[in-house]
Structure 1
Amino acid sequence: MRLNKHISDTGFCSRREADRLIAEGRVTINGRKPGAGAQVEEGDIVLVDGQRLQVRQAKAGRKHVYIVLNKPVGVTCTTESDVKGNIVEFVGHEQRIFPIGRLDKDSEGLILLTSNGDIVNEILRAENKLEKEYLVAVNHPVTDEFLRGMARGVPVHGQLTLPCKTGKLGKFGFRIVLVQGLNRQIRLMAAHFGHRVKQLVRVRIGSVKLGHLKPGKWRNLTDVELRGLLPHRTEW
């Protein structure tokens, strides 16, 4: 396996980032700095900045991959390989995976990816009313009137958004919990009241929380998290 793919498979970083680390001489294989196009064999010890990497595999007993990624700004939620910065290339997983739903290129935070195409529509189905929680920073002070207006519903794409939960986070920040996912919904809702979103981070989908997962890193979903997303399923 190519060295950059081996590094990305551990969840340490993307293949592109791995190439940069290799070029900077921060990676070793069995104690030696590798050349361009280096390969990793079974049993080789790969270190990045002296830290040993372990490949993350799908949990035993599962047929498919289910992961949560802390998506950085600039990564596009598409499977189209000709799109620069697409999320599939960024993750660089050994299995074919695709995102469940989307986050705007300018947004960051929690997004789910899977190799199981059968569950995507089940999770995204509107009647499931799966909560999605975001932390948002805007360019004008957040007022109680603004929060009430956002919570009541705002005309977006020719329809009124569903009622949602909002809360203040400092002078220029707020928390919002949605059960729908219209294209650029929060940005358009805020713009309706004359606010421009400066930062938008998704921190929760259902019972799956971003927690301390660092930007650009991913992890496998736990069995408890999977059951919370799809309580009626028994096979994974």
Structure 2
Amino acid sequence: MSTDALKRLNKYISDTGLCSRREADKLIEQNRVTINDKLPELGTKVGPGDVVKVDGKAVRAVAKDKSDRVYIVYNKPIGITCTTERHVRGNIVDAIGHKQRIFPVGRLDKPSEGLIILTSDGDIVNKILRAENAHDKEYEVTVNQPISERFLKKMAGGVPILGTVTKPCVVTPCGKFKFRIILTQGLNRQIRRMCEFLGYEVTKLKRTRIMHLELDNLKPGKWRNLTSKELDRLNNAVRHSSKTAK
């Protein structure tokens, strides 16, 4: 058998959408995974024809064309938490109620709203999330006081937060208290922290776009599947992206 046809067990399990690689390692260590009804070791590789089971139930390998994967865009309302932990009240998984196991690509904090991608394709998640891949995200932001030229210039040029300086970005005013910002980073509560550093408080934050995917007329709390054209563009956009940090 060609070694190219083999895949590490933890990756095989994560690619099915069941869990992350780290969680898969835990399942293996807990003897909850079998290959051809035998207990494997960490680092074991899976080949075509091997039957992998978790807790006695077979898990299917991802289709080569990923036709069995789920890709949706969701207009997250304020108050929904971007976690797959089902015990958390208002978690995004229960809010959507999809029949397949899906997880969010990145997050929007609880007071924020707007577009978020969810998928069962673990392979694509890190490619989108890595800042060095420069996948842009656009937001509409409302603040508590009139926007000044100094504020716009500082926001666009870079603001010191979380022990670093934010990357230069595009900032456009669209009202006395409102502006649009396009980021290629995903620091924790980045826009809110940037505004706070400059003496402003965010009163409303809405993500309207991730790369070529837009909210359009999708209402809060609603979701839709990506079209085949959108999915093709997404796969092409991340085709050469690193899945791990450089």
Gaps of 5+ in 2: 1-64, 240-246
Deviation, structure 1 residue 230: 2.4
- 1:130 and 1:156 mapped to 2: Cα distance? 21
Per the alignment, do residues 157 and 61 of structure 1 end up closer, same or farther by CA in structure 2, a change over 3 Å counting? closer
- Range with bigger deviation, 155-164 or 116-125: 116-125
Question: 8 Å contact 1:123–1:230 — kept in the other structure?
Answer: no
Give the one of 109, 113, 120 matched to 1:108.
113
One of 174, 192, 197 as aligned partner of 2:197:
192
Query: Over residues 91-117 of structure 1, what are the superposed CA-to-partner deviations in whole Å (9 max), with x where a residue is unaligned?
Result: 010000000000010000000000111
Listed as ranges, the matches of 1:111-126 within 5 Å are 111-126=116-131
3-state DSSP of counterpart to 1:230: helix
Pairwise mapping of residues 157-176 of structure 1 onto structure 2 (< 5 A)?
Answer: 157-176=162-181
- The match for 1:214 is 219
Any conservation in 2 of the 1:68–1:221 contact (CA below 8 Å)? yes
The match for 1:152 is 157
Q: Which residue of 2 aligns with 1:205?
A: 210
Match of 1:88 in 2: 93
Farther-moved stretch of structure 1 (61-70 vs 109-118): 61-70
Instruction: Provide runs of 4+ in structure 1 moved above 6 Å.
Output: none
Counterpart Cα distance in 2 of 1:189 and 1:151: 10
After TM superposition, give the deviation of residue 143 of structure 1 in Å: 1.2
Q: Which residue of 2 aligns with 1:224?
A: 229
- Match of 2:142? 137
CA distance in 2, matches of 1:190, 1:228: 33
How many residues are matched? 174
Q: Which amino acid aligns with 1:132?
A: K
Match of 2:83 in 1: 78
Aligned to 2:15: none
Q: Which residue of 2 aligns with 1:99?
A: 104
Calculate the TM-score normalised by the size of structure 2. 0.69
CA distance in 2 between partners of 1:201 and 1:90 (Å): 18
Per-residue CA deviations over 1:139-168 (Å, capped at 9, x if unaligned) read 010111101100000011100000000000
Does the 8 Å contact 1:152/1:163 carry over to 2? yes
Q: Hey, what's the Cα distance between the residues in 1 that align with 2:132 and 2:228?
A: 23
TM-score norm. by structure 1 comes to: 0.71
> Which consecutive residues of structure 1, in runs of 5 or more, have no partner in the other structure?
1-59
Give me the identity figure in percent.
60
Q: Secondary structure at the match of 1:133?
A: strand
Deviations 1:120-156 (A, max 9, x none): 0111122220010000000010111101100000011
The answer to whether the 8 Å contact 1:123/1:229 transfers is: no
RMSD over equivalenced CA pairs, Å: 1.4
Deviation at 1:228, TM superposition (A): 2.5
Shift of 1:61: 7.6
